[in-house]
Each structure stands twice: as structure tokens, then as C-alpha cells.
Amino acid sequence: MTNLQSALQFVPLYAIRDSLTVLVVLVVMIATNAKFAAVALIAIPMAGGVLGVLGRKLRSAGRRGNEVMGRSTTASRKACRACSS
């Protein structure tokens, strides 16, 4: 059996197990403290959305910084080659 076949064999098992785990955790949260569970179920996705937006902006800024650094490195190497020739 190949690795792919083995992995595909266990996907349904993992999907069912993980779904049941989430369901049980939600039931326990609501049974323990319904108000806190409601606040958590609202706040956590909102925080995830904010972090997603910030992450995209940071990646974009990092990419632009790397492009600037690459251009300056290229220019300095060209200048050094011109001086040494």
C-alpha cells in the first residue's frame, strides 16, 4: 500500500474523530458557562480575522522590503565590480 493510499484510508476516520471532538468541546463549554462560551465563540473568530488581515499586511511589507534590499544589493555589487575592473 502506498503512502497516498494509506493517508486516504485514514482521512474519513480523522474527519469524524475531529468533528466529534469539536462538538463535545462545544457542549462542555456551553454546559460549564454559557455566557463565557458565547463570548468566546464570538471573540475568537473576530480575533482570527484581525490577525489574518495583519498577517497579510506584514507579509506584503516584508516582500516589499526584500525587493528593495535585493535592488540595493544588486546596485552595490555592480558598483563594486565597476571599481575592481
Q: At 85, is the secondary structure helix, strand, or coil?
A: coil
The whole-angstrom separation of Cα 77 and Cα 70 is 11
Q: In terms of Cα–Cα distance, which of 47, 71, 30 is closest to 79?
A: 71
Quick one: pLDDT at residue 22?
93
Rama region for 68: left / alpha / beta (φ>0; ψ in -120 to 50; rest): alpha
Helix residue ranges per DSSP H, the chain: 3-32, 34-84
Query: What's the confidence (pLDDT) of residue 1?
Result: 60
Please give the model's pTM, rounded to 2 decimal places. 0.54
For each of the chain's 85 residues, which pLDDT tens digit applies? 678 787 788 888 889 999 999 999 999 999 999 999 999 999 999 999 999 999 999 999 999 999 999 999 999 998 888 887 6
